Structure 1
Amino acid sequence: MFYAPDDRDRTLLPHNPLKAIVAPRPIGWISSLSPAGVANIAPYSFFNLVSESPDMVMFSSSGVKDTVRNILDTGEFVCNLATRALLAQVNLTSAVLPREESEFDLAGLARAPSRLVKPPRVARSPCALECVAVEVRELAGRSGASTGHWLVFGEIVGIHIDEAFVEDGILRVEKLNSLARCGYFDYAAVEEIHTLPRPGGQSFTSA
């Protein structure tokens, strides 16, 4: 089977499989704060760590939603780790609400204060990354036309970790049960890892 993105046979593939092909994808559970002080939180599956030294993350939004608008206004956000234990709340916070209403309240999420930025963290999330926006821009397609998709890059300025998940100096990802998006309405949780050192006995890339 082969098709161009604009020419999919919808009798064979009524639902776009692209997000199932590029999977699993980490979920950026992004909290932000409006200038009026309303805390917003929403999940984004176009999300990842994109560099270290400086440590930077990126997420993409379809349209200028409240998260992007808040970041444009304030320049700050927090990436809260989405876990299997919080799946129901992660899903609830994808709801579209008026800007003056908070998804924290909708999902019954307790807030925790951040140290270096103003947006709150999810109290139950075992890890969180406090970020300062360094670039926000609209993506263009190959023709140069606007796409309506917005890309946000943030530099990590603070990191929160629940020490209950640290063993022998290693953050145990399989115990965090980090969530990933797998396309359609599907999710996966990390439950098992396999350690495989790089050729030549190379150690971790950063200390």
Structure 2
Amino acid sequence: MFYEPSKGHGLPHDPSKAIVAPRPIGWISSIGADGKLNLAPYSFFNALSSKPFLVWFSSGGEKDSSTFAAESREFVVNLVGRDLAEKMNRTAVDSPRGISEFEYAGLEAVPSRLVKPPRVAGVPAALECKVTEILLPKSLSGEDSGAVVVIGEVVGVYIDDDYLVDGMFDIVKAGNVSRLGYMEYAAIDHVFSMRRPRWEQD
């Protein structure tokens, strides 16, 4: 089949998120100007560059994560391991502003080193970020897409020593959880390596 997204797909469910998958989950903790905490998962998340270390997450409209990040100019990306997947899912609840997702999901907040938002206790790794840009992407027609893209530079990296093996972060041991399409998720249980080819070697 072939379809134009602007005209519809005719399928029971939108396949776009299943096609662009797996997607890493950015479990974003943020703090508002009033000191209230927010914790929410975003599958529209990824790294943008390594030097400087930039990451981004995209919110479908103004939500607490993007609003709080705009207010404090800081956020933390918590890595979701398999043992925290169910609690991560609970923090996706559409709770009213001011409700603590940490408490709702039975999670402990641990102070960060360089930013005000805390990290989630028990995560294999966390990225402490300072906001560099907030973008409001437009569609081809020039209309507001409704998305809010928050870009941050990673100023501090927390890694649980239990997940360092021979000096490398063990993603299989950490059980990195990714978002697939529809209601599906994936946890890493198998990896393989391939070196990027170099022209002179060919």
Scaled to the shorter chain, the TM-score interval is over 0.9
CA distance in 2, matches of 1:9, 1:122: 39
Residue in structure 1 matched with residue 59 of structure 2 by the alignment: 61
Superposition pairs of residues 82-97 of structure 1, within 5 angstroms: 82-97=80-95
Which amino acid counterpart does residue 59 of structure 1 have in structure 2? Answer: F
CA distance in 1, matches of 2:9, 2:192: 38
Which amino acid counterpart does residue 35 of structure 2 have in structure 1? Answer: G
TM-score normalised to the size of structure 2? 0.95
Residue in structure 1 matched with residue 187 of structure 2 by the alignment: 189
Q: Where do 4+ consecutive residues of structure 1 move more than 6 Å?
A: none
Superposition pairs of residues 85-124 of structure 1, within 5 angstroms: 85-124=83-122
Residue in structure 1 matched with residue 69 of structure 2 by the alignment: 71
2:129 corresponds to 1:131: yes
Structure 2: give runs of 5+ residues left out of the alignment.
none
CA distance in 1, matches of 2:64, 2:191: 35
CA distance in 1, matches of 2:116, 2:76: 9
Identity, % of aligned positions: 48
1:83 is displaced (CA, Å) by 1.4
Residue in structure 1 matched with residue 150 of structure 2 by the alignment: 152
Which amino acid counterpart does residue 74 of structure 1 have in structure 2? Answer: S
TM-score normalised to the size of structure 1? 0.93
Q: 1:72 to 1:3 in 2, by over 3 A?
A: same
1:124 is displaced (CA, Å) by 1.0
- Paired residues, what number? 200
Structure 1: give runs of 5+ residues left out of the alignment.
201-207
RMSD over aligned Cα, in angstroms?
1.4
Q: Which moved more, 1:111-120 or 1:92-101?
A: 92-101
CA distance in 2, matches of 1:97, 1:139: 26
CA distance in 2, matches of 1:9, 1:74: 40
Residue in structure 2 matched with residue 3 of structure 1 by the alignment: 3
